[in-house]
């Protein structure tokens, strides 16, 4: 691959020209990496709900044309000036958030919210010079969350690249670069259920099922899945969920239902929907004295969380998490090792696979609510 180092690479990318319109496979030019940047050859990428949300332009200042994609696995093609811990040929996961290793957050053992590289959905350019590395006929195509993996080659800040075990199959572990690690870490790193404890998971999409998988790994005795879609319940059993509650089946608030069936409340709860009412229920369903609720889902910008202060004074704890409290460069390699030692099962999250030329099918599956993760194979 080194023969392309320092040169512009022409390759295929799936470009979003306008909101909600099918992506178009175009030939793009990808500039060489600048200081503290790496250029990656993407081998597998997957579609996450965040890509769809911003492609639909529901949540932000719309920015087009743009190359989406942020769950992926690839190989380093070349590195820019100042990059010392990566070299061409390394197997890596690009990540939508980063770890500069210099700021107060990176130096803290408690935080993974890097000042320099934390997620920025509005920025469509590289930090180094405020320009895009993608272009078509000299016109810039914008980046997305610093990764833009719906391209055969992409340029990423070195702090947003996790070097992983080269024996790990990239077509499987690529899904660990976003949603699965978010849910898994919310349980293992933040909720920290003890062996034999009871855990409630609100929302049984990919992130919620990853949170359930974390509870299964931790040895929880009861894992209660809460979802408005009863069709998700059978599938969730594969992820360790032992029983199910559909709030629509009950006249009383779901937190009261859960308290009744758990003798006062669960030990831990993890909320993965982003619905503020589910967040309140997830907090109020934990046991007084020791219960911990963890919020993962991203709420509507105008949402307000309301609960009676006595719920806190009675020794319940409310926590939030971002990317499962994993530091991308330091911690993701160990998550990949959990898969390699068969502690973490990843295959069951992958329900579809399409060639890059059919990337719009992946969007169709997600918009219909079919399956969990769709792998997009860059090399057909």
By annotation, the residues acting in catalysis are 48-50, 70-71, 100, 103, 106, 114, 118, 178, 373
Give the span between the Cα atoms of 121 and 93, in whole angstroms.
Answer: 19
Give the span between the Cα atoms of 147 and 131, in whole angstroms.
Answer: 14
Residue 217 has φ and ψ, to the nearest 5°, of: -60, -35
Q: Which two tokens stand for residue 380?
A: 């057909």
**Contact 38/83 with Cβ under 8 angstroms?**
yes
Name the H helices within 219-327.
Answer: 232-236, 254-261, 276-284, 309-313
**Contact 38/155 with Cβ under 8 angstroms?**
yes
Write the DSSP string, 298-345.
PPPTT------HHHHHTT-EEEE-SGGG--HHHHHHHHHHHHHTTSS-
By three-state DSSP, how is residue 369 classified? coil
């Amino acid at each position: 691959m080194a023969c392309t180092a320092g040169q512009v690479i022409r390759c295929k990318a799936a470009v979003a020209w306008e909101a909600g319109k099918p992506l178009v496979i175009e030939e793009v030019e990808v500039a060489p990496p600048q200081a503290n940047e790496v250029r990656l050859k993407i081998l597998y990428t997957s579609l996450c709900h965040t890509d769809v949300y911003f492609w639909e332009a529901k949540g932000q200042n719309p920015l087009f044309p743009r190359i989406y994609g942020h769950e992926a696995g690839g190989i380093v093609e070349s590195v820019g000036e100042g990059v010392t811990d990566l070299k061409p040929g390394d197997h890596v996961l690009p990540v939508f958030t980063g770890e500069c290793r210099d700021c107060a957050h990176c130096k803290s053992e408690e935080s993974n919210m890097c000042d320099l590289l934390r997620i920025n959905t509005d920025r469509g350019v590289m930090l180094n010079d405020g320009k895009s590395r993608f272009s078509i006929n000299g016109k810039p195509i914008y980046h997305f969350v610093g990764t833009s993996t719906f391209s055969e080659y992409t340029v990423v800040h070195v702090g947003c690249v996790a070097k992983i075990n080269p024996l790990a199959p990239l077509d499987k572990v690529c899904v660990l670069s976003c949603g699965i690690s978010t849910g898994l870490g919310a349980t293992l790193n933040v909720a920290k259920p003890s062996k034999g404890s009871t855990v409630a998971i609100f929302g049984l999409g990919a992130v919620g099922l990853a949170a359930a998988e974390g509870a299964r790994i931790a040895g929880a005795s009861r894992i209660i899945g809460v979802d408005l879609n009863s069709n998700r319940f059978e599938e969730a059993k594969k992820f360790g969920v032992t029983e199910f509650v559909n709030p629509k089946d009950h006249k009383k608030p779901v937190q009261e239902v859960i308290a009744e069936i758990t003798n006062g409340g669960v030990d831990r709860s993890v909320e993965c929907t982003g619905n503020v009412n589910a967040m309140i229920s997830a907090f109020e369903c934990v046991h007084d004295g020791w219960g911990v609720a963890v919020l993962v889902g991203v709420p509507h910008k105008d949402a307000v969380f309301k609960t009676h202060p006595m719920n806190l004074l009675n020794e319940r704890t409310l926590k939030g998490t971002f990317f499962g409290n994993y530091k991308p460069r330091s911690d993701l390699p160990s998550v990949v090792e959990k898969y390699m030692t068969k502690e973490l099962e990843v295959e069951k999250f992958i329900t579809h696979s399409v060639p890059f030329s059919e990337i719009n099918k992946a969007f169709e599956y997600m918009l219909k609510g079919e399956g969990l993760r769709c792998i997009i194979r860059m090399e057909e």
